Structure 1
Amino acid sequence: MSASTHLRRKRWAASAAGLALFGLVVGVMPSESTAATGPRAQAAPDDPVLERSADETPEVVEIVVPGTAELDRLVATGVDLDHGVHQEEDGLAVHAVVTPGEVKQLKALGFAVGGTLLAAEDGEAAVAERDATIAAHQQTADALDDEATDPDTSDVKILRADYYTSFGTPVLAVEAQVADGANVTTLTVERDSGPGTAFGSGGTQNISRFVDAGVYMYHTGASSAGLTTRPDRVRITSASGDVAILKVRDWLPTTEGEPDPFKGPGYQQDFIQSYLDPTQLYDRIKQLALTYPDLAEIVELPYKTNGYRRLAQAMVGPTANNPTAISQRFGLDSVAWGHEGGNGITVEVVHPAAANVLLSVSVSGKTITVTSATDAGGVATSTSAQVVAAINANPAAAALVKAYTYRGDAGAGVVPATAPVALTDGLNAPASISRDPQQVYAIKIGKVRDGSKPGVFYYAQEHAREWVPPLVTIETAERLLRNYATHAGTRDLVDNLEIWILPSVNPDGGHYSFYDFASQRKNMTRYCGVESTGDFGSRNSWGVDVNRNYDLYSAFDGYSGASTTSCTSGTSAGPAELSEPEANNVDWVAAHPNMTFSMNVHSSGNYFMWSPASYKAAGRETAPVPTLEEEGLFWGASSRILTAIKRHRGLSVTPARTGQVVDVLYSAAGNSGDMLWYKYGIYAWDFEVGTTFQPPFENLENPNGASAHAESQEFANGLVEMARVALDHERDDVPPVSTVAVTAAPSAPGKVNVRFETNEPAAVFYTLDGTVPNLGSERYDADGLRNTLGERLKVDAGAEVRWITVDSRGNVERHFVPGKDRNYRTWKAEVGYEEPLASSATSLSLSPATVKVGARGVTAQVEVTATGAGDQPVPSGVVTLRDGNVVVGSGEIDDSGVASIPVGAFPKAGTKVLTAEYGGDAAFAPSVSTGAVLKVVKAASTVTAQVKTATVTPKKRAKLKVVVAAPGAKISGTVLVRVDGRLVASRAVAANGKVTLFLPKLRRGKHTVQVTYLGSANLARSSTTTRLKVVRR
């Protein structure tokens, strides 16, 4: 029997008891052949009460009554009414759930019963319609599968198909893989034009191959050409004829210009008016900390930078780039930093007119004069190597400078005479920019900042030329602090998180980019020796790429994307991992044990990425990829963050630029994101803000174009949303829910495909050998590159699959205890398999446990519980009380699995053993309680006796009227009549409790008449007396 069939039968069995599809239930008092159906309006003792046969099936009919008085009379019959009362022209219309027998009784009582509105067959039809709808959906899915080649054998696979809008323009982005993809230049994507339409009706677009490190990754492309309607599906056919089909999903589905649901009226934003150099950035956060001392504090990070400073330098000699000029050239570095005396030193080479002059060096103040040697003809003969040696050998000159030949040249060329050449450090920043080692500052924001709250870390300007990212962090800090007092959402974040903001990781390079060389990427530290590229001519190429200097998956470990040999490489990793103070500061913040989420804000390219960000070129071996659960969290959080960004002006960070760094960009060995993720377990992202490093602050000509101001606002939206993600993650105490699907595996005889899905990012640990799964069991993985769907496991048909599901917060599905027996989900690897309903247990208690015949007042307390291991859902549905086969009440269990059901009155005395029967629901199987004993004792009776005339003559027989009463009970039995103790009559009591008889003729005098009702099986004995006087006429 299918589950749906079982449920249909269960529902209608419940309806037959008076509940089910229709709503409110009221009860009736059962006779030997009738059943109560649950709670009812209390009828007066003489009100007629409907009787329902247990084997009748109810229907819904309409009853119209002229007014509320008749409605009250209708309710008093105990009829099962639906919830609504409707005013009609001729009265009040109600819907009643009644059996044919009850219809006859209602008509006999004068109620106008209309036609049938809903019959049992209609309920069956509704369930059948539901089943047909599900079947149709399945048929559609099967048809899609039929159109596509079996994915286990197909040589083409569509990874993603995302529809989105960017600045109001619709776009479809598609990614796919194909066999021998490195040799397939493009793939053609066919679009439909909506559900049920033909492929190609929505046009086509091409996607191009993406090859990285010589390895084919996938084909990708996005297009808006000809995209007039949202496609429902896309199709790609490979050169071999294999077909892949995928449903299109929405990417960042938010309406252009819709209000930000987080902000609301009065939200303060837009605190950025211009670009800020690192000194100004630090001043800004210091001022914020002073303004909001209860919410923020400045943290002086432990590693000072080398400083915005350099030695003064000069190149002396010819500038041409040929061997002769190079051999004549020499360089000078000051001993003191430029700002501490090196600037302004001058060097002049003089050729004397005399013959046979010796080479000499003289110093006057900061002026160094080199007099060249001459030969017998008065021609200068001093080579650059000789000049360098002479300067370095002169104590006064050596106290000012160090000389060297050009980049290790032998220096055999004769140095020509020169004009005085001044040494300079080449730094042009104003005096307000300190030349000392730089203290690096971060601001820590939070009502509680002692490490007890979850930490969120935002940092920017690892790369000096990226001027917009620091503005994003400053705007975020301003919003968090200035909205605290007036905005509940912001207050919730600040009260419950500890947010660290480091606006400039690399202040030295930042200052150099602002004032000296706008394209500066690295810090200012010179590791280049003067024998190579340490001279003044290479000053704009020195430094270490801070974002290649970290200690996980670095170039020193053999990973690509950084140089360990070239000090002038744009991605120089430095002399060793964590050699730079800038990198050590980031590591120091990340090491705080409460740190959970981070964002490294970069520019440019409008990327949004996460680890792994490094691979080895040989075989493109990446750092470990996230698990399916971790990848799901990255994608899910990214969708929220990017949607918040889009709300500012409609910018969509495209799906092609979202994902693992190694998938969408390149390898960046030794980057900070990898360190935070792999070393500290921090969920670490990387923004690449905007489309250029230093866009115009405002872009009045193109509001949708590159603009530092606009980008600071939209990406600050993203940072605030990340804080919300972090807080939601911290508060997540809800266990995940998993499902399993089994499909055929035509390419693997004897096997089936098994696939898990979860309602949130969660890890699935499974076993196939009958063992109990634990956190060390096989972990369910993703289905390949850039895919948040799980793999298709090939499992022996009919095998048992056991699994547990754990989300990123450690919540376990159903609160199972991993590794404990029965604490797992189980499924049979069989196509079409339906999970057995979970077992339930029903308990019953009665209060009170004794009741009189015909009386009410007993309440049945029924509780239905799940009996499986772990945290189970609460059963729902209907419970029915039975006395043997007779229904004596029913009701619906509440959200806690409990039902309190009034028990109907019993017409006979005796001991009853009641049971509660749970009908089951979509998740739980039926169950029956053990018996609960109810004692039904005899009801009290009363006898009244009345002589028609209290005085008679001796010749006349007095007429005696006797009435036996027992409200709510049937009356039967015998009354005995005694006169002065002598039995004079014995009569059976009529069903109405009345007896009329004539007493015998009596002597004159006063007589006592005693009437005794002997009781019955269900009524107690009772008696009364009256007086009779016999007098002479």
Structure 2
Amino acid sequence: MKITAIAAALLALGASAPAYASDDLPGADAALVQVFVPNEAAIAALTEQFDVAEYKNVEADGTIMIAVDATPAERAELRAMGLRIGATIEDAGTRASVAEARDVQREADERASAWAESGVPKSRAAVAPRGETVIQRADRFTNYAGTFLYVEAFNKATVSTGPTSFSGPSQALSYAGADGVWSVATDVPRYTDGTTTPDTYMFHRQLVRLTGPAAQIPVDELTVRVASSSGAVDTSKVKSWPGGTLPPHVAGYQQGFFNRYQDPTENRAQLDRLAAEFPNLITAVNLPHLSNGYQRKAMGIVGLKTPYADQVSGTGSLGNVGTDTTQTAAIRATQALVINTKAWGHEGGNSVSVELKAPTAPDAPLSVAVTGSDIVVNLAGDVAGAPASKTADVVAALNASAPASALVTASTFRANAGQGVAQPTAKTLMKDYLNAPAHVQRGPFQQRVYRIGAHRDGTKVGVFFTCQTHAREWTTGLTCVETAERLARNYATDPETKKLLDNVEVFIHANGNPDGGHLSMYDFASQRRNMTNYCQFTDPVGRNQWGVDLNRNYTEYTRFDGPWVGASADCTVDSFSGPGEASEPETKNDMWIADTYPNIKFASNMHSFGGYFMWSPGAYMDDGKRTLSPAPNIGVEKYFFQAGEKILGRIKEHRGTVILPQRTGPIADVIYSGAGSSADDHWYRKGIIGYGFETGADKFISTETGTVQIQTGFQPPFAEATGSADPRLAYEGRDQAMEFASGNYGMIEAAYDYAQDTTAPKTSIEYSAAQSDSAPITFKFNWDDEAAVIRYTTDGSTPTLASPTYNAERPRGLGELLTVTKPGVTEVKWFATDIKGNQSAVQTQRLQVGEQGTVGGSVPATLALTLGTPAAFGAFTPGVDKEYTATTEATVLSTAGDATLTVADPDAVNPGRLVNGTFALPQPLQGLGVVKTWTAPTSNEKVPVTFKQTIGRTDALRTGSYSKVLTFTLSTTSP
């Protein structure tokens, strides 16, 4: 109102209008302030004179706080009217700051868009590759609704500035075909994780629909460019998602083996029939732990002024006892008398009744009577004959009565003191509130796993599917049943199916949560957990709050291990992980399968909804750093994606559904942390390649202006949409089960590829230069055919399994860039090991930083031998046995690669014997032959040469000197 009046005044002022030209905003001196008024009438009166905002709040003292946009003069006028002015909500300064921030952001957005479309001007240097902005993914896909481009980029300048705030440049994307004509830019918003403290920046991402000629650009000609308002730019080629082609099924391939949603009992019965029909392919195995059962103790609440009408509460452990317009919840809680039967409802508990009768006379005593299963409490009366028994007194009386306490346990409502007066209540049957039809067995449930394959002896690679761990996810159980039916019924007619079952063993656990599944189907559709109650309260108000989230009940990276996010200790919360790791029989059974069958190498836990395809790591800490459970090496993650191509391709096959790239990847990156999940248990505890599926991809709906995505929910219509169901989701439940059963088939195909893989992976190195003058050399490794873990060294040594591994720059990021800075030659050596264990040969790449000069001289070939003083034995003594020793020394100099020093006797008449004229010693001289050998050069080496001569007591000796001229030779084969 005020702004309109000012605008009119400006028009009327004519020449005086420039007096307002310096005002940045209308009413530049106005401020939005709190004003306290006594009543609604005052608000109406002020609205006629002032700019009153659409806000009010009733204070504790009955006054009303409103907000008024007022100038200083108007604020003075309000005070003169006796009204109190409170805090300033906005003023000229705050409004100017907001406007300035808006303008700055607009400029940044426009700059990013311009650079995305046209590139960074030559006058401004673009950030080097792998600089501030890095494109991590660029995928194009076509589904039933059209063609789309998904781009994901990480910006290093984006930083946290507070618990939920960030600063960083704007990002925009543009794309072009072979003609180099860039599209109009599209903003790329920031994606953050709000489950940590503070929030965590993940990356920027955008999904763009391609229409007209853009949708016809061949994917191998499509390039995307992401530009930052800071000037950082990165470009990337675009990949087809999912890639590859799949072998077709044979004509007449059988599929579609269900006509409605089925409960866990029906799923088990169908699989039992299938196993009986195909005993050559299927073996049903009872799991060792029975579930706690689809059963409850019967219960009820009596003693209330307005009888309890089966209400439930979702307000946690406090709860409330229904609604009553004549009483507060607090008063009803003091009156409520909670009854729980000793017997299960189906075993007699549902037959127990409790009645609270009014006193028959003044001052009547409190008493309890039991007839069969009927309990009657006669309430005590006061002097006027009105009920006088406090709820706590009735509880004590019931529990003290032997016949009553044999049937029930009584308590106050959730530890209330029970000081309210219990009110007469008509005969009330206790109920377990379970309404499943008769075919659903009450009591513990026998879970089974079905082994499917031509060879079910553990000799083939195993694939393990678990479905409906979360009870309300009705489509998932059908995917397991459909998978088993397709495999068994097509084995004899489809060569591809036969090939798979001849080489892979499939394990199907169709209902990981049978009790919760039955409860969700027939009693409480939103049930996620099993039915086991660990809460202290057992009243029917909280009957829909009980149970353990089985996918938070495993043993790896759980809330019991530290501040791992995504599991709760509150028994009323849907992510309650139970009292301890693997506390639940359903979890124990699932782990038993993985432990008992070591041939299982692949596993999937099927959930809904959202259309996700995920793997470990599945948890992170809320420690201020978002510490992840150990992420697989980039080579392993590439394998997850590589195998996923087949799985996602099969999902698309059914009706064109494409699981979005942003919903594919590690659990912790694409959805949230789930501490204690089955995927992490499989991967970290057993080394099983564990996936997590989510059926129920968003439905893409075409509109006049593009497409919208609508959520499908846990239980979309199976057939035609009736009642209030969205007609756009007709047959959605059936289609989801069918397409994800096809995904299961793709996973079996990936397991077959794994089983048959005997080829070492091929990898290569890419570098900025083989030789640089002085600048560092950057290099990275590439995977040329399949995913693998690469190990390398840079010191010239041969890499081993203990050598450093080549990793990703960050979670979900590209492979790291490595750098050589040391002057001289660096030998990079590497090898790769694929997921099967096939290992490539070591490869070598020589990288050189700086020029190499030469200096040196030559060494002539030299062999030199110098002998010292001749060896002399001294005098020989005739007629005495004795061994004599003589020593000389040789000095050796050799430049050869090898050398040998030998001593030889050239005498042909008496070889090897000392002589005296014509006489020779009877026994030979010892020490002839090879003296020493060398395998490298040596210089002026002193080599002792020792001779020995034996004289026997019968040896005839001639007077005179015995001697021999010997030949010393230094020789080589490598001069």
TM-score, scaled relative to structure 2: 0.66
The answer to whether the Cα contact below 8 Å between 1:465 and 1:518 also exists between their aligned partners in 2 is yes
Q: In structure 1, which of residues 313, 338, 357 is the aligned counterpart of residue 345 of structure 2?
A: 338
Structure 1 residues 234 and 452: alpha-carbon distance in aligned structure 2, compared to 1, 3 A threshold: same
The answer to whether the Cα contact below 8 Å between 1:563 and 1:569 also exists between their aligned partners in 2 is no
Residues 1:174 and 2:137 are matched in the alignment: no
Partner of 2:612: 607
Q: Deviations over 1:952-1005 (max 9, x none)?
A: xxxxxxxxxxxxxxxxxxxxxxxxxxxxxxxxxxxxxxxxxxxxxxxxxxxxxx
Structure 1 residues 339 and 748: alpha-carbon distance in aligned structure 2, compared to 1, 3 A threshold: farther
The answer to whether the Cα contact below 8 Å between 1:796 and 1:829 also exists between their aligned partners in 2 is no
Structure 1 residues 367 and 793: alpha-carbon distance in aligned structure 2, compared to 1, 3 A threshold: farther
The answer to whether the Cα contact below 8 Å between 1:698 and 1:710 also exists between their aligned partners in 2 is no
Question: Matches of 2:752 and 2:662 in 1, distance apart?
Answer: 28
Structure 1 residues 812 and 528: alpha-carbon distance in aligned structure 2, compared to 1, 3 A threshold: same
* Equivalent AA in structure 2 for residue 309 of structure 1: Q
Question: Matches of 1:643 and 1:191 in 2, distance apart?
Answer: 27
* Equivalent AA in structure 1 for residue 224 of structure 2: V
Partner of 2:234: 244
Question: Matches of 1:791 and 1:616 in 2, distance apart?
Answer: 28
Partner of 1:161: 138
Structure 1 residues 745 and 408: alpha-carbon distance in aligned structure 2, compared to 1, 3 A threshold: farther
Structure 1 residues 309 and 263: alpha-carbon distance in aligned structure 2, compared to 1, 3 A threshold: same
Q: Deviations over 1:40-63 (max 9, x none)?
A: xxxxxxxxxxxxxxxxxxxxxxxx
Q: Deviations over 1:676-733 (max 9, x none)?
A: 0110111111110013211111358978866122122211111111111101111111
Structure 1 residues 682 and 563: alpha-carbon distance in aligned structure 2, compared to 1, 3 A threshold: closer
Partner of 1:1009: none
* Equivalent AA in structure 1 for residue 831 of structure 2: I
Aligned-pair CA distance for 1:184: 5.0
Residues 1:666 and 2:672 are matched in the alignment: yes
Q: In structure 1, which of residues 827, 835, 856 is the aligned counterpart of residue 845 of structure 2?
A: 827
The answer to whether the Cα contact below 8 Å between 1:184 and 1:209 also exists between their aligned partners in 2 is no
Residues 1:715 and 2:740 are matched in the alignment: yes
SS state at 1:756 partner: strand
Residues 1:523 and 2:527 are matched in the alignment: no
Question: Matches of 2:516 and 2:771 in 1, distance apart?
Answer: 60
Larger C-alpha radius of gyration, 1 or 2?
Answer: 1
Partner of 1:62: none
Partner of 1:149: 127
Question: Matches of 2:720 and 2:849 in 1, distance apart?
Answer: 59
* Structure 1, 373-382 or 510-519: larger mean CA deviation: 373-382
The answer to whether the Cα contact below 8 Å between 1:745 and 1:751 also exists between their aligned partners in 2 is no
Q: In structure 1, which of residues 759, 774, 779 is the aligned counterpart of residue 805 of structure 2?
A: 779
* Equivalent AA in structure 2 for residue 614 of structure 1: A
Question: Matches of 2:398 and 2:655 in 1, distance apart?
Answer: 63
Structure 1 residues 795 and 540: alpha-carbon distance in aligned structure 2, compared to 1, 3 A threshold: farther
Question: Matches of 1:769 and 1:679 in 2, distance apart?
Answer: 35
Partner of 2:791: 765
For residues 561-960 of structure 1, what are the structure 2 equivalents within 5 Å?
561-591=565-595, 592-618=597-623, 619-690=625-696, 691-698=712-719, 707-743=732-768, 750-759=775-784, 760-787=786-813, 789-794=815-820, 796=822, 798-814=825-841, 824-830=842-848
Question: Matches of 2:545 and 2:774 in 1, distance apart?
Answer: 62
Structure 1 residues 543 and 631: alpha-carbon distance in aligned structure 2, compared to 1, 3 A threshold: same
Partner of 1:1010: none
The answer to whether the Cα contact below 8 Å between 2:341 and 2:430 also exists between their aligned partners in 1 is yes
Give the percent of matched residue pairs that are identical in Structure 1 and Structure 2: 40
Aligned-pair CA distance for 1:485: 0.9
Aligned-pair CA distance for 1:831: 8.7
Question: Matches of 1:526 and 1:298 in 2, distance apart?
Answer: 30
Residues 1:307 and 2:293 are matched in the alignment: yes
Question: Matches of 1:792 and 1:187 in 2, distance apart?
Answer: 28
For residues 223-242 of structure 1, what are the structure 2 equivalents within 5 Å?
223-224=208-209, 228-229=213-214, 230=217, 232-242=222-232
Structure 1 residues 718 and 584: alpha-carbon distance in aligned structure 2, compared to 1, 3 A threshold: same
Question: Matches of 1:583 and 1:226 in 2, distance apart?
Answer: 48
Question: Matches of 2:337 and 2:460 in 1, distance apart?
Answer: 59
SS state at 2:193 partner: strand
The answer to whether the Cα contact below 8 Å between 1:613 and 1:668 also exists between their aligned partners in 2 is yes
* Structure 1, 351-360 or 539-548: larger mean CA deviation: 351-360
Aligned-pair CA distance for 1:239: 2.8
Partner of 1:190: 173
* Equivalent AA in structure 1 for residue 188 of structure 2: N
Aligned-pair CA distance for 1:607: 0.5
Question: Matches of 1:330 and 1:669 in 2, distance apart?
Answer: 38
Question: Matches of 2:356 and 2:771 in 1, distance apart?
Answer: 87
Q: In structure 1, which of residues 419, 423, 428 is the aligned counterpart of residue 430 of structure 2?
A: 423
* CA root-mean-square deviation: 2.7
Structure 1: which 5+ residue stretches go unaligned? 1-140, 815-823, 834-1033
Partner of 2:964: none
Question: Matches of 1:228 and 1:553 in 2, distance apart?
Answer: 49
The answer to whether the Cα contact below 8 Å between 1:159 and 1:786 also exists between their aligned partners in 2 is yes
Residues 1:465 and 2:469 are matched in the alignment: no
The answer to whether the Cα contact below 8 Å between 2:141 and 2:148 also exists between their aligned partners in 1 is yes
Structure 1 residues 176 and 679: alpha-carbon distance in aligned structure 2, compared to 1, 3 A threshold: same
- For these two proteins, the number of residue pairs brought into alignment is 674
Aligned-pair CA distance for 1:428: 0.3
Partner of 1:1017: none
Structure 1 residues 559 and 541: alpha-carbon distance in aligned structure 2, compared to 1, 3 A threshold: same
Structure 1 residues 272 and 794: alpha-carbon distance in aligned structure 2, compared to 1, 3 A threshold: farther
Q: Deviations over 1:778-814 (max 9, x none)?
A: 0110132213545444554631111121111111113
The answer to whether the Cα contact below 8 Å between 1:186 and 1:207 also exists between their aligned partners in 2 is no
The answer to whether the Cα contact below 8 Å between 1:548 and 1:670 also exists between their aligned partners in 2 is yes
The answer to whether the Cα contact below 8 Å between 2:352 and 2:430 also exists between their aligned partners in 1 is yes
Q: Deviations over 1:566-617 (max 9, x none)?
A: 1111011001100000001110111121110111111110010000111111
* Equivalent AA in structure 1 for residue 777 of structure 2: V
Structure 1 residues 654 and 325: alpha-carbon distance in aligned structure 2, compared to 1, 3 A threshold: same
Partner of 1:450: 457
Partner of 2:15: none
Q: Deviations over 1:411-459 (max 9, x none)?
A: 1111112222221000001121111211001211011111111111011
* Equivalent AA in structure 1 for residue 611 of structure 2: N
Residues 1:211 and 2:201 are matched in the alignment: no
Aligned-pair CA distance for 1:635: 0.6
Question: Matches of 1:261 and 1:804 in 2, distance apart?
Answer: 32
Aligned-pair CA distance for 1:399: 0.5
Structure 1 residues 225 and 395: alpha-carbon distance in aligned structure 2, compared to 1, 3 A threshold: same
The answer to whether the Cα contact below 8 Å between 1:171 and 1:224 also exists between their aligned partners in 2 is yes
* Equivalent AA in structure 2 for residue 542 of structure 1: W
The answer to whether the Cα contact below 8 Å between 2:355 and 2:426 also exists between their aligned partners in 1 is yes
Aligned-pair CA distance for 1:500: 0.4
SS state at 2:471 partner: coil
The answer to whether the Cα contact below 8 Å between 2:565 and 2:622 also exists between their aligned partners in 1 is no
SS state at 1:420 partner: strand
Question: Matches of 1:283 and 1:773 in 2, distance apart?
Answer: 55
TM-score, scaled relative to structure 1: 0.63
SS state at 1:459 partner: strand
For residues 995-1010 of structure 1, what are the structure 2 equivalents within 5 Å?
none
For residues 259-270 of structure 1, what are the structure 2 equivalents within 5 Å?
261-270=247-256
Partner of 2:207: 222
* Equivalent AA in structure 1 for residue 134 of structure 2: K
Aligned-pair CA distance for 1:344: 2.5
Question: Matches of 2:566 and 2:368 in 1, distance apart?
Answer: 44
The answer to whether the Cα contact below 8 Å between 2:567 and 2:676 also exists between their aligned partners in 1 is no
Q: Deviations over 1:875-910 (max 9, x none)?
A: xxxxxxxxxxxxxxxxxxxxxxxxxxxxxxxxxxxx
Structure 1 residues 372 and 704: alpha-carbon distance in aligned structure 2, compared to 1, 3 A threshold: closer
